[in-house]
Amino acid sequence: THIGENCFKGCSKLSQVTIDPFYTQVRGNSFNNCSSLNNFIFLNENQTSNSNRKVFIPYIITENFYKQNILNSSYFTPRIKNLSEIEIEIKYPSTNFSNIIDMVKSIKQLHTSKVKTSILYSGMETVDKQFFKNDVINYVVFDSTVKETPNDGDNNSDGSFQYCFSLEKVTVPSSFIKIGNNTFNCCMQLKQISFVNPSSLHQIGQYAFYDCRSLMQITIPSSVTSIGKYTFYNCQSLTQ
């Protein structure tokens, strides 16, 4: 019922996996560097066994769902009804990112309280408007290779995740050195910022967490030497 962290990492000759992702929990990096893996066969086990469970769908399975036209299909949507929550991870950048996120958005409209969207951001630190005012995203995890938030190509640009009103949690890797201006400005549902230790973060830009009204606490890494103006302005719930 569980495939753990790095379980099949580097299995370069593995080309096919048969699995029921609603019953078997798969971690996001279980199949890392499986360069030949291009096909998942999805079983359809007894749906009642999934009742009141939380399910995580890693990006590699999300992409296969899309390729096999399973998202929004008779396989996918009825099974959500028996779950307490399903987290669908989408990797960015990826070839079908825009199409996948549009399909997930339509699923969320049918199952609003149950479906959570997680972004695994592995892109370059360039100006990027993919997420500005995106109301689908609930969680953001930056890959360990990323060093800065994606608006850092222009410090006067709109924040990369600005006005993401559904964003609840962000995980910042130890590789990060800078959070740019306005990055999470007006993310009013943002409740948690997690910094992976040891942190390399040096700078938090101005207005970075402006108007994050649900943020109750944040532990700023000791490595930070610069915090911009109005970074935490109007964070009404922030107490420590």
Q: What is the pLDDT of residues 199-219, one digit of tens each?
A: 999 999 899 999 999 999 899
Cα 170 from Cα 191, distance rounded (Å): 9
Cα 66 off chain centre by: 17
Cα 154 from Cα 233, distance rounded (Å): 22
CA distance readout (Å), 86 to 42, 83, 115, 138, 223: 17, 7, 5, 12, 35
Does the structure show a pLDDT above 70 at 124? no
Does the structure show a pLDDT above 50 at 66? yes
Cα 178 from Cα 172, distance rounded (Å): 10
Return the DSSP state at 89: E
Does the structure show a pLDDT above 90 at 230? yes
Cβ-Cβ contacts under 8 Å for 94 (sequence gap 6 or more)? 59, 63, 100
Cα 125 from Cα 150, distance rounded (Å): 4
Query: Would you call 17 helix, strand, or coil by DSSP?
Result: strand
What per-residue confidence (pLDDT) applies to 180?
87
Tokens of 177: 């050195």
What is the percentage of the chain residues whose pLDDT exceeds 70? 86
> Which of 18, 28, 61 is CA-nearest to residue 143?
28
Phi-psi region for residue 75, left (φ > 0), alpha (ψ -120 to 50) or beta? alpha
**If you average pLDDT over residues 49-55, what whole number do you get?**
68
Query: Would you call 188 helix, strand, or coil by DSSP?
Result: coil
**If you average pLDDT over residues 124-132, what whole number do you get?**
66
Lowest mean pLDDT among 23-27, 60-64, 125-129: 125-129
Cα 59 from Cα 90, distance rounded (Å): 5
Is the pLDDT higher at 152 or at 37?
Answer: 37
What per-residue confidence (pLDDT) applies to 125?
47
Asked if residue 218 lies in contact with residue 193, where contact means CB atoms within 8 angstroms, the answer is yes
Phi-psi region for residue 7, left (φ > 0), alpha (ψ -120 to 50) or beta? alpha
Predicted confidence band of residue 128 (pLDDT cuts 50, 70, 90): low
**If you average pLDDT over residues 9-38, what whole number do you get?**
77
